[in-house]
Amino acid sequence: MLQTHNYKMNPFSCFIKVVLLITLFTLSESRNCNNTDHILISKAFASVSNFNTSWFKCSNTTISQINLPSKNLTGTLSWNYLKNLTHIHTINLSNNSLKGYIPTWFWSTPSLTQVDLSKNKLGGAIYGSGSGLYSAQVLNLSYNRFTNLVNLSSFSNLYVLDVSHNNLKVLPYGLSSLMKLQHLDLSSCNISSLLKPISDLGSLEYLDVSNNHMSGKFPNDFPPLSTINFLNISFNNFTGSLPYDKVQRFGNTSFINSGMLFKHANVTKNHTKTHHAPKTMSLHSKPKDPNPIKKHEKSEKNKKPFWKKRVFLIVVISGTLGLMLLAIGVSICCVYRKRKMSKKNKWAISKPVNHHQPFKLDKSGPFAFETESGSSWVADVREPTSAAVVMFEKPLMSFTFKDLMAATSQFGQESLLAEGSCGPVYRAVLPGEIHVAVKVLESARGMSHDDAVCMFEELSKLKHPNLLPICGYCIAGNEKLVLYEFMANGDLHRWLQDLPTGKTNIEDWSTDTWEYPIDSSSPEKMEWRTRHNIAVGIARGLAYLHHAQSVPIVHGHLVPSNILLSDYLDPRIADVGLSHNQVNSPSTDSDVYSFGVVLIELLTGQTSSEEMVTKTRKLVRDGRGVDALDSRLRLGDNSVSEMVECLRVGYLCTAESPGKRPTMQQVLGMLKDIHPLTTD
């Protein structure tokens, strides 16, 4: 009965027959598949939950790739079954929750060239068997739990090696034999060895050893810098001094707290020019980058930004791994006038030591920071550890301004998310994987320490699913820094407008802008239901502010760029309570008006402006609301009347006379009535 195999017979067929019989009874998915490789895969993943055998086509051909990144695979792989997959060349299981150890023999699988096991919970050793050389060329083991027993001597074909974010403690053995290595990432591995063993790696183009305790002397213990395009040795304990002319091309952020001193003279003047990873590049990439091999083959100068870009992107995306660490961005706004004023006074308020020195590498303050647009802010503290970061939800975490500096590359350009009309916003990942957006409140410079504490404490009490929560603050001299949860989907304005990311348009009508990868083909944007849900969410948040407090809280600056979107596209209103010291104190009526404008933008897809509002109002008044609707919405179906109805709510909210505008409570009611499916 087993004579009718149509796959190639092989020496293991006896075994296979047995496996086949077992499989027939145990694995329902593969009941109809008698392909050898298919069976092996099913067995290998038998104790991995969320695995689905139907991901692999049952055909008579051999399986050469296991490409299952981000499938929420949980459990332990039975590596032994992979042994006989003789044609396998790529294994990509990154971003799952695989546990256990990788057996030594695995690496000697003859055809294996690319292995990406990053972001799992794999542990133990990576150990060469000592016999023969392995074929692996690209190996990514980052973000796992590998320990110090790593011996790489047999991996001499590697040209990309990423073992970052493991707990290696010492430099892996055998690194020096990887003579083809072009890309080496050993960052955040708690390594306290000498760098010297890798000083012979002559092909390196990318080297990241940041965030360890490595020692060594420049330049003798370093690999030849001439071929290196990307270098990061920050946060280590190296000695020696860096000749500016040799290292300037890497940018200053490559050397923060590396233990080495610059030969200072010319470093800072050219600071802004030497940044090799413009922020427009660092965040603009799509999650699915082409694989490292292709990029390496291109061997272009733009390799450097590419890698950097990837690292940044993954930092962003990794935030979503833990449920609580969802990424957020914040945009905050204040009044124009205020900004102009504070700009004028800036230097008077907080005297910087040196106007030409945006990064101060010394240990004691004041610390001056420069943003891309050329404005500056100064943390006037002597010891960066003396300014505590107060975390509301995590009172046991003790961070200081120093940690913020470390987490933002000293508030470097690559951490800058946005520059709005009331101050720069930075992205930071604090120890413990706490992903935050840090906003420098320029408008609060004049506020006293106690008043600021009071304000932050009050704001922290405002809790609503549609308000962007403040998670902490830090007062450093005159500067008040507020920490928000970080949001991956950016703000409503960008989302709606499909804005190309990376353009911070400071004079934009809607002020703050955020950079995120935006998928312009996203089907959600065409969904009426999504937009309706966003409208209802914003209305809920505002109604909470206006009606659920003893004294109504006025937002005062509700614009689409101030509304951030969670992973599930739920809106979170940012910047609550921070425009309180405006001159013309706004009222709840003006919030209702602003809400109406947001609603109009949401329905029409057009960036709102006064003319836009007037035009839309006229169309609604003339009963031609349907002509104003965003053409991207699926206008064919029967929800058009709902959309028009919703637009009419926007019309009511933007009534010229404040007295005629509905309250947010009424608005919420009307919006909920429009689409009965929206649950409360």
Ligand X SMILES: *[C@@H]1O[C@H](CO)[C@@H](O)[C@H](O)[C@H]1NC(C)=O
By CB under 6 A, name the binding residues for ligand X. 2, 4-6, 12, 15, 34, 49-50, 52, 54, 60-61, 69-70, 72, 74, 80-81, 83-84, 92, 94-95, 114, 116, 118-119, 128, 130, 138, 140, 142-143, 151, 153-154, 160, 162, 173-174, 183, 213, 215, 237, 239, 244-245, 263, 265-266, 270, 273, 287-289, 291-292, 310-311, 314, 317, 320-321
Please identify, using beta-carbon distances, which residue of 72 and 302 lies nearer to ligand X.
72
Strands (E), 243-375: 261-262, 367-370
What are the distances in angstroms from CA 584 to CA 50, 458, 595? 57, 22, 18
Q: Cα angle at 453 between 449 and 457, to 5 degrees?
A: 170
Q: Output the smallest distance, CB 125 to ligand X, in A.
A: 10
Please identify, using beta-carbon distances, which residue of 153 and 663 lies nearer to ligand X.
153
Q: Which residue is nearest to ligand X (CB)?
A: 314
Please give the radius of gyration of the chain, using alpha carbons only, rounded to the nearest integer: 28
Quick one: CA dihedral 342, 346, 348, 350, positive or negative? Answer: positive
Q: Output the smallest distance, CB 425 to ligand X, in A.
A: 23
Task: State how far Cα 620 lies from the chain centre.
Answer: 40
**Cβ neighbours, 10 Å, residue 124:** 15
Please identify, using beta-carbon distances, which residue of 271 and 445 lies nearer to ligand X.
271
Q: Output the smallest distance, CB 132 to ligand X, in A.
A: 9
Question: How far apart (Å, rounded) are the C-alpha atoms in residues 591 and 556?
Answer: 6
Please identify, using beta-carbon distances, which residue of 292 and 352 lies nearer to ligand X.
292
What single string gives the DSSP state of each residue in 13-78?
HHHHHHHHHHHHHH-GGGTT---HHHHHHHHHTTTEET--GGGS---SSPP-EEE-TTS--EEE--
Token representation of residue 87: 């044609």
Please identify, using beta-carbon distances, which residue of 257 and 562 lies nearer to ligand X.
257
Q: Give the amino acid at 550.
A: S
Element (H, E) at 664: helix 664-674
**Cβ neighbours, 10 Å, residue 519:** 13
Q: Output the smallest distance, CB 561 to ligand X, in A.
A: 24
Please identify, using beta-carbon distances, which residue of 265 and 551 lies nearer to ligand X.
265
In DSSP terms, 388 is beta-bridged to 400
Q: Output the smallest distance, CB 263 to ligand X, in A.
A: 5
Quick one: CA dihedral 210, 211, 214, 216, positive or negative? Answer: positive
Q: Output the smallest distance, CB 448 to ligand X, in A.
A: 37
Q: Give the amino acid at 510.
A: S
Please identify, using beta-carbon distances, which residue of 160 and 539 lies nearer to ligand X.
160
Instruction: Say if residues 7 and 20 touch (Cβ distance below 8 Å).
Output: no
Q: Output the smallest distance, CB 236 to ligand X, in A.
A: 9
Q: How many residues does the chain have?
A: 680
Please identify, using beta-carbon distances, which residue of 90 and 581 lies nearer to ligand X.
90
Q: Output the smallest distance, CB 128 to ligand X, in A.
A: 4
Peptide bond into 219 cis (omega under 30): yes
Q: Output the smallest distance, CB 637 to ligand X, in A.
A: 28
Which contacts (CB < 8 Å, 24+ apart) does range 455-463 have?
455/577, 455/580, 456/390, 456/480, 456/482, 458/577, 459/576, 459/577, 459/578, 460/392, 462/545, 462/553, 462/576, 462/577
Please identify, using beta-carbon distances, which residue of 517 and 577 lies nearer to ligand X.
517
Question: How far apart (Å, rounded) are the C-alpha atoms in residues 623 and 635?
Answer: 17
What are the distances in angstroms from CA 462 to CA 110, 271, 574? 59, 41, 12
Q: Output the smallest distance, CB 123 to ligand X, in A.
A: 17
Please identify, using beta-carbon distances, which residue of 140 and 561 lies nearer to ligand X.
140
Please identify, using beta-carbon distances, which residue of 11 and 395 lies nearer to ligand X.
11
Q: Output the smallest distance, CB 98 to ligand X, in A.
A: 12
Q: Output the smallest distance, CB 414 to ligand X, in A.
A: 15
Please identify, using beta-carbon distances, which residue of 158 and 496 lies nearer to ligand X.
158
